[in-house]
Amino acid sequence: MISAMRRKKRRLEDLILCRSFRRGILLVFIVLINATSSFSQNFCTQTLKQAQEAFDEGRISAVPGILEQCLKNGFNKEEKATAYRLLALTYVYLDEPVKADEAMLMLLKFKPEYKINPSVDPSEFINLYNGFRTDPIYRLGVKGGANFMIIDLVKMNSTNGDIAEEIRIKSNVGFQLGVASEIPWKNNLEICPELLFTTKELKFDYESAGQRSNYKERVNQVSLPVLLKYSIGKKNYIPTVNAGIEVNYLISAIGSTGGHNVSPSTEVTSYRRALGYALVIGSGVKSKFGPGVISAGIRFFYSLRTSTDKKESYSDNAAYVLSYGMANSLYKMNTFNFNVSYLIPIYKPKRIK
């Protein structure tokens, strides 16, 4: 029995030793990888300095050979941008325009937001840079915010024929969320199409047959605004104004009543127009934030269509009246909204002249 216990103890010690050995090997492997990476990075940092020194000393033809190895494997992203800038300058002075173009394209690939510095960059390099498309082809991101409606009552229909009842129309806060884009056009103008999911809520407080009730309706839409935006100046915080049109498509409209006349939530989509149109004006401010642009602004949507195309009254919509104690009136849903967006620029540099 003692012998069996000794064998068991020996196996346990061997297992612990094996695990310790494997951990030691793994640790040595990690240290070697870090050391190799550190050595490679330090080597390429020194290589970049050597290439710059060769350029400054007039040994321009030696620069491509010095940079070659680290350009294949060794430079980080920022160092590659610096190296390709140096290569572009080198090939400009060596009168090799094709290679200069290739180096400039690689510079703009690794650093698409690169801007020339007229006080430092020579005119030959500036001319090369100006021969490329360096602005983003578009910006793409997300947009969201809150909305509040101003109901424009066109015609009040009531349960008493054409006799208007006491009624107050209110708006609850809704929201919108979706994708947005900006397409540079010319000067400071941008075309801005968006695709948003929008929820709006309105409330009717009314009196019918001496009894007070309320009717709430939640409208869900897909909204497609297409705007023309103008940016004022090029400061850190840039004011903007915009105008355009919106097309919206009704997904659903859900109504419910409270107060004296109570009914459960009911689909009323069939009583509403499927398509709506609006004119849009707005203003805001935008600023660079990280890799993208953050914007905030307000807009007003002036509806061009009433919520329904049916001039309904008690006589031609009895079911609606019996459910809600009111007739379906004609109104427009004009809307104020507040938005915040964040858009990332998408670049595609190329030779343009």
Q: How far is CA 109 from the centre of its chain?
A: 22
Q: Is the pLDDT of residue 58 over 90?
A: no
User: What pLDDT does residue 279 have?
Assistant: 97
Q: Is the pLDDT of residue 321 over 70?
A: no
pLDDT value at 316 more than 90: no
Asked if 242 contacts 281 with a C-beta cutoff of 8 angstroms, the reply is yes
- Its pTM stands at 0.76
Q: What is the pLDDT of residues 297-310, one digit of tens each?
A: 999 999 999 887 66
Tell me: the pLDDT tens digits for 8-28?
Answer: 556 655 555 555 555 555 555
What was the pLDDT predicted at 129?
A: 94
Q: What is the pLDDT at residue 132?
A: 93
Q: In the structure encoding, which two tokens stand for residue 148, read together? A: 């509040």
Tell me the mean pLDDT in the region 110-127: 90
Burial bucket for residue 33 (CB in 10 Å: 0-12, 13-18, 19+): exposed
Take residue 128 and report the two structure tokens written for it.
């090369």
pLDDT value of residue 33: 44
Average pLDDT, whole number, for the chain?
A: 82
The pLDDT tens digits for 191-215 are 999 999 999 998 877 766 667 777 7
Kindly give the residue spans of alpha helices, DSSP state H, lying in the chain. Answer: 2-56, 63-72, 77-93, 97-110, 123-130, 318-324
- Looking from the CA of 293 toward its CB, the CA atoms found within 13 Å total 25
Contact partners, residue 136, CB within 8 Å, separation at least 6: 112, 184, 345, 346, 347
What count of other Cβ atoms lies within 10 Å of the Cβ of residue 279?
Answer: 14
What pLDDT score does 163 carry?
Answer: 47
Compute the residue count for the chain. 353
Is the pLDDT reported for residue 158 higher than 70? Answer: no
Long-range contacts of 209-213 (CB under 8 A, 24+ apart): 209/159, 209/325, 211/259, 211/260, 211/261, 211/325, 212/259, 212/260, 213/257, 213/258, 213/259, 213/260, 213/261, 213/262, 213/325, 213/326
